[in-house]
Amino acid sequence: MTAYITKRLLIALVTILVASVIVFSMLEIVPGDPARVMLGMNATPEALQALRDQMGLDQPLLVRYFDWIGQLLVFDFGKSYTYNIPVRDLIAERVVVSLPLAIMALALSTLIAIPVGIFSAERRGRMADTLSMGAAQIGVAVPNFWFALLLVYVFAVWLRLVPAGGFPGWGAGAWPALKALILPAIALALPQAAILSRVTRSAMLDVLGEDYIRTARAKGMPRNVVLWHHALRNALIPVLTILGLQFAFLLAGTIIIENVFYLPGLGRLVFQAITQRDLIVVEGVVMLLVAVVVLVNLLVDLSYAVVDPRLRTSR
Amino acid sequence: MTIIADEPVPEPQPGFLALALRNRSFVVGALLTLFIAGMALLSFFWTPYDVTRLVVADRMLPLSSAHWFGTDQFGRDVLSMIMIGARASIAVALVAVVIGLGVGVPLGCWAAARGGIVDEVLMRFNDVVFAFPALLMAILITAIFGPSATNAVIAIGIFNIPVFARVARAGALAIWPREFILAARAAGKGKARITAEHILPNIANLLLVQGTIQFALGVLAEAGLSYVGLGVQPPMPSWGRMLFDAQPRMMVAPTLALFPGLAIVITVLGLNLLGDGVSDAIDPKLRRQR
């Protein structure tokens, strides 16, 4: 068990480290001088040099890399070239939109997909199964941002139930803020739910063929106890794996969906930063997202051991 | 010796097409895919209207017999735009799959053949790439080199590499302990040659199925990237960009947002069904489980 956890932790650390080298070196090859970007074309050579010294731009590559890593460890992502405020503050401002959105979408997708998957597995080959898996097949093919547009048309333009976009901020109260996140969350969740329900169904089908399920049924366990307790728990490993991967896709998905709904989240921040060539912001957000993806996958790996006691000893 | 080594592997080849044609997913998927591919091909020779000509008088026309899907804000025929847009989707996704196959499969096969430290290092590197969803990669690349279809291809292609590497490795690992491989080794063939002559033909089916899945994901990713402006650049029509342009005009012309989206759904659905059909036909045993 300890060996398993240690190995996973090490892998996660190495992954983040290698990712940081990739991000750092990619932004290193960008043509252009950050000091020039910050001060504009009319800056005097003296001012440019002063800023370069202040930012440490003339230091050797390795020194700058380790400086950067050291700052990242204390959540110092540097200062935005264009906003001239710490990237950390920019991120903090935006994360309160993106993170609730991703979590809402993940929760929604799980709440829909797992019951549907179990339900179809139990009724394999019957009408309900065919219909729900047909719907899932289509759901997988629907791009979330297009689905978002359709939702906006129906619920915001046509029925006028929710705003078509924008975000009032959490300061405006929890309900108006949540209301602005409902459509984006649904748009993100449904295509993911389609994938997850297919995975849940096939994992359940594998388990439902096992002898212990027949035994449980034969000794008269209620149907739902067999399904939700005996079967689901054993089918959970592939489901958890997909959930971990989905979180990565959801985070990436929020970046696009935020653009559909004009939500001031990390995605909007990154796109503005790209157009303004504010690379330090891009660097910070990408590193943060990569770290989150790695951490979530680490948690998934660790949760295997919780779900499946056999893994605690065997690995 | 060579007779043993070249003993035909139990191949699903005989009757594959016959099996596939009896499979509903395969037939529907193949028809949808052929339809989209045919439309893209046709667009090279003929489209109902010339999309490079902007006709201001014909702006935002509703659906009619002259313009089946209406016209956009520049008076361009939406059907013609969708036909040409299919090219971008197919080209980007296809090249990205080729990148994934071309780099990922050799890496996966190498990891399986060598095992040990090579395997461990390659698989860990896979984990690193997996930590960058295609969109993040595209954002990084675009931030540096600027937006273009090529950069979208590279971003999606890079994300495909670990996917194919994993599939190839897992497939190859299952083949290596088989008897005919042992025979080939006894015959003195090297690992590279065994991989090329015996492993690859045996994992080709797996790769084909994964290829259709990644193709479908590539179409979705390309649409997403073009929608946010990181993919195919105007004036070259792309489905994602058409949706972006349609968004502010949804009040007046909701159909502008309808048809490009449907085109994406049909393409992805077709490819996914095709992949399901192929894997069913290759391994009928699996079908009962699904």
pLDDT for A80-122, tens place per residue? Answer: 877 778 888 888 888 888 888 999 999 999 999 999 998 898 8
Query: Among residues of chain B, what percentage have pLDDT more than 90?
Result: 20
Task: Give residue B219's domain range.
Answer: 20-41+78-289
**How do residues B113-144 score in pLDDT, each as one tens digit?**
888 888 888 888 887 887 777 777 777 787 77
What residue type is assigned to position A298 of the chain?
A: L
Tell me, what's the pLDDT at B262? Answer: 93
B134 touches chain A (CB under 8 A): yes
B60 touches chain A (CB under 8 A): no
**Length, in residues, of chain B:** 290
For the cut 60, the answer to whether the pLDDT of residue A4 exceeds it is yes
Tell me, what's the pLDDT at A77? Answer: 79
Question: Is residue B8 situated within a structural domain?
Answer: no
Which residues on A lie below 8 Å from B264 (Cβ)? 141, 143, 146
- Asked if B124 lies within 8 A of A27 by C-beta distance, the reply is no
Question: Is residue B57 situated within a structural domain?
Answer: no
- What is the distance between the alpha carbons of residues A277 and A307, in angstroms, rounded to a whole number? 45
**Length, in residues, of chain A:** 315
For the cut 60, the answer to whether the pLDDT of residue A5 exceeds it is yes
- Please give the ipTM for the structure prediction: 0.83
Q: Please state, in angstroms and as integers, the Cα–Cα distance from residue B137 to each residue in A78, A93, A282, B144, B151, following that order.
A: 21, 23, 11, 11, 10
Question: Is residue B169 situated within a structural domain?
Answer: yes
- Asked if A202 lies within 8 A of B290 by C-beta distance, the reply is yes
For the cut 50, the answer to whether the pLDDT of residue B290 exceeds it is no
CA distance B240 to chain A (A): 9
Question: Is residue B235 situated within a structural domain?
Answer: yes
> Long-range contacts made by residues A251-254, C-beta under 8 angstroms, separation at least 24?
A251/A98, A251/A102, A251/A289, A251/A292, A251/A293, A251/B133, A252/A289, A252/B133, A252/B134, A252/B135, A252/B136, A253/A102, A253/A105, A253/A144, A253/A188, A253/A192, A253/B135, A254/A98, A254/A101, A254/A102, A254/A105, A254/A184, A254/A188
The confidence band for B107, taking pLDDT boundaries of 50, 70 and 90, is very high
- Residue A81, C-beta contacts closer than 8 angstroms, at least 6 positions apart: A34, A37, A38, A276, A277, A278, A279, A280, A281
Q: Please state, in angstroms and as integers, the Cα–Cα distance from residue A29 to each residue in A51, A308, B136, B140, following that order.
A: 20, 46, 18, 12
Closest by alpha carbon to B139, among B224, B57, B200?
Answer: B224
Tell me, what's the pLDDT at A105? Answer: 93
- What is the distance between the alpha carbons of residues A166 and B223, in angstroms, rounded to a whole number? 23
A270 neighbors A207 (Cβ within 8 angstroms): no
- What is the distance between the alpha carbons of residues A30 and B115, in angstroms, rounded to a whole number? 37
A21 touches chain B (CB under 8 A): no
A187 neighbors A106 (Cβ within 8 angstroms): no
CA distance B196 to chain A (A): 31
**How do residues B179-191 score in pLDDT, each as one tens digit?**
888 888 888 888 8
Nearest by CB: A290 against B132, B268, B273 = B132
Question: Is residue B51 situated within a structural domain?
Answer: no
B202 neighbors B171 (Cβ within 8 angstroms): yes
B138 neighbors B151 (Cβ within 8 angstroms): yes
For the cut 60, the answer to whether the pLDDT of residue B14 exceeds it is no
Question: Is residue B53 situated within a structural domain?
Answer: no
B136 touches chain A (CB under 8 A): yes
DSSP-derived letter for residue A142 is: S
Average pLDDT over residues B70-88: 84
* Helix, strand and coil in chain B, % to nearest 5: 75, 0, 25
The C-alpha angle with vertex A199 and arms to A198 and A202, in degrees rounded to 5, equals: 85
The confidence band for B104, taking pLDDT boundaries of 50, 70 and 90, is very high
Question: Is residue B95 situated within a structural domain?
Answer: yes
Kindly report which listed range (A228-232, B109-113, B191-195) carries the lowest average pLDDT score. A228-232
Tell me, what's the pLDDT at B3? Answer: 46
B261 touches chain A (CB under 8 A): yes
For the cut 60, the answer to whether the pLDDT of residue A151 exceeds it is yes
- What is the distance between the alpha carbons of residues B227 and B5, in angstroms, rounded to a whole number? 52
Q: How many Å separate Cα A239 from the centre of its chain?
A: 16
Average pLDDT over residues A264-289: 84
For the cut 50, the answer to whether the pLDDT of residue B1 exceeds it is no
The confidence band for A312, taking pLDDT boundaries of 50, 70 and 90, is low
Query: Among residues of chain A, what percentage have pLDDT more than 70?
Result: 94
Kindly report which listed range (A49-63, A155-169, A171-185, A249-263) carries the lowest average pLDDT score. A49-63
Closest by alpha carbon to B150, among A225, B158, A223?
Answer: B158
B253 touches chain A (CB under 8 A): no
Question: Is residue B121 situated within a structural domain?
Answer: yes
- For chains A and B, CB pairs below 8 A equal 132
- Residue A36, C-beta contacts closer than 8 angstroms, at least 6 positions apart: A43, A48
The label of the residue with tokens 């996917």 reads B163
Whole-model pTM: value is 0.85
For the cut 90, the answer to whether the pLDDT of residue B31 exceeds it is yes
Domain boundaries, chain A: 93-283
- Asked if A140 lies within 8 A of B272 by C-beta distance, the reply is yes
Identify the three-state secondary structure at position A264. coil
Higher pLDDT, B26 or A238: B26
Give exposure, A160-183, as e/b (b: 16+ Cβ within 10 Å): eebbbbebeeeeeeeeebeebbbb
- Asked if B250 lies within 8 A of A149 by C-beta distance, the reply is yes
Average pLDDT over residues A197-212: 85
What's domain A93-283's architecture? Orthogonal Bundle (1.10)
A203 neighbors A235 (Cβ within 8 angstroms): yes
Average pLDDT over residues A174-203: 88
- Asked if B250 lies within 8 A of A153 by C-beta distance, the reply is yes
Domain count along chain B: 1
Tell me, what's the pLDDT at B288? Answer: 42
Kindly report which listed range (A50-54, A128-132, B93-97, B275-279) carries the lowest average pLDDT score. A50-54
Tell me, what's the pLDDT at B36? Answer: 92
Peptide bond into B260 cis (omega under 30): no
CATH of the domain at B200: 1.10.3720.10
For the cut 70, the answer to whether the pLDDT of residue A33 exceeds it is no
- Residue A137, C-beta contacts closer than 8 angstroms, at least 6 positions apart: A194, A198, B269, B272, B273
